[in-house]
Amino acid sequence: MYSKQPIEYKKENISASSNFKSQIEASSRRSKSRLILALDLDFRDDVADLAKDAKRVVRETSDYICGVKFNFHLIAPLGLAELKSINNLISGYNLPSIADIKLNDIDNTNRVATEYLWKAGFSAVIVNPFVGYEGGLDVVLKRAKELGKGVVVLVYMSHSGADEGYGLTLRDDKTLFELFLDRAKEWGADGVIVGSTRPEKIRSARARIGNEIKILSPGSGAQGGDPIRSLEAGSDYLIVGRSIVESANPKEEANRLFRSLLAWTETH
C-alpha cells in the first residue's frame, strides 16, 4: 500500500555536480548539436571486433554529437579495459560519456558498480529512482558530487509499455512519473530521462523541475519520436542510437540528423 505522506529524506544538502553538466553544455555549444549518440551495436556471436567497431562509429559521428551513451550492448560483453579505451577516445573529442545501466540496487552494490564505471572513464551514470535514496542511491549521489560526475534519473521510458509503470497513480493522486521528478529535484540530479515518444511528458517534466536539471530524451528515430517536437517540449538533448549505428553509413546519418536540427539549435 502506498503512503499518503511524503517521504522525508535523511540526507545532506546535495547540489547537482557541475562538471558533467558543464562538459555536455560546452560540447553542445561547440558542436551546435543536441544529439547524444547511443552506441547500441547489435548482438553478435563473436565480440572480438566490437570495441573496434564502436570506436569507428564514434570517429565517424564525433563532429555531429555532443555526447555518447553506452548501454548493456557494450557494457555486458566488453571488459573494463576495453570500455576505458573507448572512453579515452570519446574524451579525446571532448565529449562526455554516460553509462546507461539504470542502476537499481542496495548502496554497497551501487557503490562498487559506479566505482568501476568511474574507473572506466564514464562521465555520468543513469539510475532508477525506484530503489530510493537512503541505503540505495545516497552513496552514488554523494560520490558523484565528490568526483564531479553526473547522475541522471530515469523518470519515463520511451517504449510503448512505459505507461504500465511510470503512469501509475499513487494514493495521493501523484503519478509515479511525478514522484520520480520530485526525487530527481530533491536529490540534486544532473538530468532526467524522459522518452521523446511522449512530448507531453517532456513538457510536464520541464514545468515541474525547472531549467537547472537537463532533460535527455531517447526514442527519436527507430522508436518513432519526433526530434523537433521533443526539443520544443523542453528536451535539452536527444539520445539517438539504432538509426545511426545500424545505418549503412553512420557518418552520413548522423550528419543528416544534425542538419535537420541545426536551424532549431541555432535559434534556441
The answer to whether the beta carbons of residues 191 and 213 sit under 8 Å apart is yes
32 is catalytic: no
Question: At 86, which helix (H) or strand (E)?
Answer: helix 80-92
For residues 117 and 131, what is the distance between their CA atoms, to the nearest angstrom? 19
For residues 184 and 129, what is the distance between their CA atoms, to the nearest angstrom? 8
For residues 180 and 175, what is the distance between their CA atoms, to the nearest angstrom? 9
Catalytic residue among 102, 142, 185, 251: 102
HSE (side-chain half, CA atoms, 13 Å) at 220: 27
For residues 219 and 236, what is the distance between their CA atoms, to the nearest angstrom? 14
Instruction: Spell out a b/e string for 98-126, using b for 16 or more CB atoms within 10 Å of the CB, else e.
Output: bbbbbbbbebeebeebbeebbebbbbbbb
Q: How far is CA 232 from CA 36, 89, 235, 237, in A?
A: 17, 32, 7, 11
Which residue in the block uniquely carries the three cell numbers 557541475?
18
For residues 100 and 29, what is the distance between their CA atoms, to the nearest angstrom? 23
Please name every residue paired with 97 in a beta bridge, in sequence order, or none if there are none.
68
Please identify every residue annotated as catalytic.
102
